[in-house]
Amino acid sequence: MSKVDSLIEAYSHFAELPWDKSVAGPEKVWLAVYPPSEERRLRFKLTEFGTATQRVGKGWKVVDITKAFEEWLGGHDYKEAYFESPEDLEPALEDFGEELTARVRRELDAEDATADTVVALVGAGSLFGIYRVSRLIESVNGSIRGRLLVFFPGERQGTNYRLLDAQDGWSYLAVPIVASEG
């Protein structure tokens, strides 16, 4: 069984559990952790996560942020200057983070993201070196009504998560969902 198939199985069992609707925003975050090398396979099988969610009577909504940075930069007034001098882009990344946060909040606040909906965030790896996934998650905690499932290409050791297996990680108290060993 592949890591992704094992992750789907683990998620299916997890999705069956009753949801406590009184938990705080950070406790409504689920991190589906998988090896970065499995990204393509995970995206190919993304609908299976949705099927597992709907089978237990919950809603399913996918929010893909993979192209968020390129769309933001493509519409920026100073994009040509940033291509000439990429080091000048760093101060503007805060603006990108604010726009990305607003975009994800809009999706979480939408009518189809009820207290019985899993909003699946795909594309976290595309933020590597641009904006911290931890900041994004912390910024949208208050808008989560159901559950926020973040597909996280990286690794977890206890409560420490490392995106794309980078040296820099962060400690977070989200609920981890991982593939079983064997």
The tens place of each residue's pLDDT in the chain, 182 residues long, gives: 889 999 999 999 989 999 998 898 888 999 999 999 999 999 999 999 999 999 999 999 999 999 999 999 988 887 787 778 888 888 889 999 999 999 999 999 999 999 999 999 999 999 998 999 999 999 999 999 999 999 999 988 877 777 887 756 666 678 889 887 64
Q: Are 62 and 122 in contact (CB under 8 A)?
A: yes
2 three-class SS: coil
Question: How many structural domains comprise the chain?
Answer: 1
Token pair in block for residue 171: 């400690």
Structure tokens at 38: 């499995």
pLDDT at 161: 79
CA–centroid distance for 63 within its chain: 8
Say how far apart CA 144 and CA 119 lie, in whole Å: 9
Domain with 56 in it: what CATH number?
A: 3.40.50
Domain that holds residue 123: 3-16+23-178
CA distance between the termini of the chain: 8
DSSP 174: P
The pLDDT assigned to 102 comes to 97
Residue written as token pair 């641009």:
130
Structure confidence at residue 168 (pLDDT):
60
